[in-house]
Chain A
Amino acid sequence: MALIPLRMQVMRMIAQCGNYSTLLQRSMAYKSAISLETLYPNSSLKLSTPSFTPNPNEKFSGYIPMEKLEIKYSASSGPGGQNVNKVHTKVDLRFKLSEADWIPAEIRDKMIELHSNKLTKEGYLILRSDVTRTQQLNLADCLQKLRNMIRDAAVTKREPTPETEERIRQRQLKASRLRVAVKREDALRRAQRRAPTVVDL
């Protein structure tokens, strides 16, 4: 026992009591050949909470700040007995569309225009979902619907380019030419079937 260094003895004692201090653990931790440090040498190997960085090219990034939405849970409708009565799986999501600063201005205006009939008197846009049996999935469904609404409002119709316009004009002219050519042919055929008009020279 005396031949074994003090450090090893201390380690053994620590192993026995099972209480590892984090500092000791990190310096003495077992690292195999396929540990995360060898697999990802450039990574920090730490779990973090990254903040969202929006893509400057896109108008709407898809990020929805949850604190700006009002979410209420209630009991769903339909059959299901005691379970459907007791479990609040229906999700009611609402927010004031005119005050939603997390939506870019043009998209917000377009949304107000598109869904003006659906807004409440105070200007709230309401989204409801009770398709699944879990609150979480219903909330995900509501958010999906909201993202789809925003993306649909963000879609802008592209103006046709001069080349496209020229091509369309040529197509229309060609169609007219063919139509008129067929008419001419039919007229000639009909004229040849009739008796010739006598021209007295």
Chain B
Amino acid sequence: MGSRQITEKSLVMLRSLPRLSLANIRDNPGSKHYPKRGRGQHSGDKHGAGNKGSGQRQNYMRLGYETGNNPFYLRMPHEPYYRGHHHRREYPPISLLEIQKLIDTNRIDITKPIDIASIVKSGLYRFFPDQKHFGINLTDEGVDLFATKINIEVQWASELVIAAIEKNGGVITTAYYDPHSLFLLKNPKKFFETGQAIPRRMIPPPDVIEYYTSAEKRGYLADPEKISQERLRLSQKYGYELPKLETDQYFNMLCERKDPRQIFYGLEPGWVVNLKDKCILKPRDEELLQFYAS
């Protein structure tokens, strides 16, 4: 059969076959490999988990902990590199290149402000608040290729990244979210289904409050007038014309910010979102209103 006949036959088949859906597709054979639970003399019995203790009970202690005695990594005081490692905050990175790819493949809506919830919703960024992850670190890979005007809110960004976003007429803000708020942002639907009231977002801890109040880092607690001055300074440092935000048609969207106590755009602390009945319940008690506005 010639190739033309093959294509014609395929098209005829396609017209009569049912629509492609989850019910009539499957993975390529051999593409998914699930780990099998070992059986037999070597992998059976305790299945590589040892005897008793946190190891067998899959409730592991933190890295380096030696059940109370002075751990190895702390025994040398002249090499204090890992002291307090379990207290340090981590910001899993995502590059500007990744963000550009998400925008180009329509996985992120740039007509609305972007925050960590939108990026997680796109499905290509994962973070785990229970593992000391405190948000997004926007890295500078792809800084020369970035060409979109966005209003983005991240938790950590370097000067170069800020310059790249402002060069394209966008706005970047660095904001702090406490771990509880991050759990909520990561999966809002799951939280709304619990029927709890939206809590207030907590203020940053003392060692990082300076970061979020500085205009150079575009902190969410910084004075917007000072931020405007910093925008000019950065445009001179990195050599680009500062785009006029006021005359932009999306000025209101670009300037849209959350209140420091707000977790979700458009939703206030204290509200209860009822997904089933599609309504929002708001507190009316004076004490509650005072608390949630504090």
Contact = CB atoms under 8 A, between A and B. Distances in A.
B246 interface: yes
Interface in A134-155: 134-137, 139-140, 142-143
Contact of A49 (B237, B242, B267): B242
B224 A47 contact: yes
A143 B239 contact: yes
Interface stretch (A26-34, A100-108, A157-165, A167-175): A26-34
Interface stretch (B27-35, B37-45, B71-79, B256-264): B256-264
A12 B279 CA distance: 7
B200 interface: yes
B262 A136 contact: no
The prevalent SS among residues of A at the interface is loop
Indicate the size class of the contact surface on chain A. 35 or more
B148 to A, nearest CB: 16
Interface string B252-294: 1011010111100011110000000011100000000000011
Interface stretch (A59-67, A113-121, A181-189, A190-198): A59-67
Indicate the size class of the contact surface on chain B. 35 or more
A146 B52 CA distance: 68
Interface in B155-169: 160, 163-164
Contacts of B279: 12, 16
Nearest to B254: A47
Nearest to B292: A32
Nearest to A67: B241
Interface centre among A18, A46, A47 (most CB of B within 10 A): A47
A49 B251 CA distance: 12
The 6 closest A-B pairs by CB, nearest first: A32-B261, A30-B268, A135-B144, A139-B239, A48-B228, A40-B223
Interface of B: 140, 143-144, 160, 163-164, 171, 200, 203, 221, 223-225, 227-229, 231-232, 236-246, 252, 254-255, 257, 259-262, 266-269, 278-280, 293-294
Given A32-B261, A46-B228, A62-B236, 7 more contacts: A12-B279, A15-B267, A20-B266, A36-B221, A39-B221, A43-B225, A143-B237
